[in-house]
Amino acid sequence: MARLIWWAALVAGATYMIPVLAGWSGPEIIVWKGAGVTLLALWAALHARDRFGWMIVLVLAFGAAGDVLLDAAGLTVGAVAFAIGHLIAIGLYRQNARSDVSGSQRALAFLAPPLALVATWFMLEGEALRIAAMIYTALVAVMASAAWLSRFPRYRTGIGAMLFLLSDLLIFARESGQIAPELGAALIWPLYFGGQALIAWGVVTTLKTEEARA
């Protein structure tokens, strides 16, 4: 059952590119949008055995809520749901910090937040918009850096979190006219959902492997 749900999540997330590229909207499209990460959260819940397992379930659940609420209730409400998930994720990753981190890997983790903030500042105009976007960007960037420095697989969870950050920066680039809307449509969702899937895969399989060894 868990394997079936995993593949269903990937199918739901991948096929959501159809309405993205076609420009479809409506309640059923919002449900479609939320289905992928919701199924990832359900998959994670089937494997959860300790507080770390349930923390990643909450991270994914708030991400799914954010996906839906962005379209159903507006930007602010959706962003709050994502922000709660990022805070839980930061706690999860910092409680599972990697003990052996090379200088180059640590440098990337420390550079990601300031570089993301600089990019956000220059892409957006208007003081209120900039401040709100930079607060949110800081949260996502810290989450991505914490994931990169965590003991979870860097080439799954770490890269997944960085892809999540990149997808948000591309949203700002699209909204400010820095990239064409068509390019944004082609890149943002795959980076976001791919990032979420990699995050889930890295955390859940690591915890599952450790449980089997115990």
pLDDT digits (tens, 9 = 90+) for 8-37: 999 999 999 999 999 999 999 999 999 999
Tell me the pLDDT band of 129, cut-offs 50, 70 and 90: confident
CB 170 within 8 A of CB 190: no
Closest to 17 measured CA to CA, from 162, 182, 159: 182
In 149-180, alpha helices (H): 159-175
Give per-residue pLDDT as tens, 33-86. Answer: 999 999 999 999 999 999 999 999 999 999 999 999 999 999 999 999 999 999
Please list, residue by residue across 35-46, b when 16 or more beta carbons sit within 10 angstroms of its beta carbon and e when fewer do.
Answer: bbbbbbbbbbbe
Mean pLDDT of the chain, nearest integer: 96
Q: What SS3 state is found at 92?
A: helix
pLDDT of residue 22: 96
Lowest mean pLDDT segment, chosen from 7-21, 119-133, 135-149: 119-133
pTM for this predicted structure: 0.96
DSSP state of 183: H
Task: Please state, as a whole number, how many other Cβ atoms lie within 10 Å of the Cβ of residue 28.
Answer: 10
The dihedral built from the CA positions of residue 180, 186, 189 and 192, taken in this order, carries a sign that is negative
Give per-residue pLDDT as tens, 163-183. Answer: 999 999 999 999 999 999 999
Has residue 214 got a pLDDT over 80? no
C-alpha to C-alpha distance for 168 and 162, rounded to whole angstroms: 10
pLDDT of residue 164: 98
CB 38 within 8 A of CB 8: no
Has residue 195 got a pLDDT over 80? yes
pLDDT of residue 81: 98
Has residue 185 got a pLDDT over 90? yes
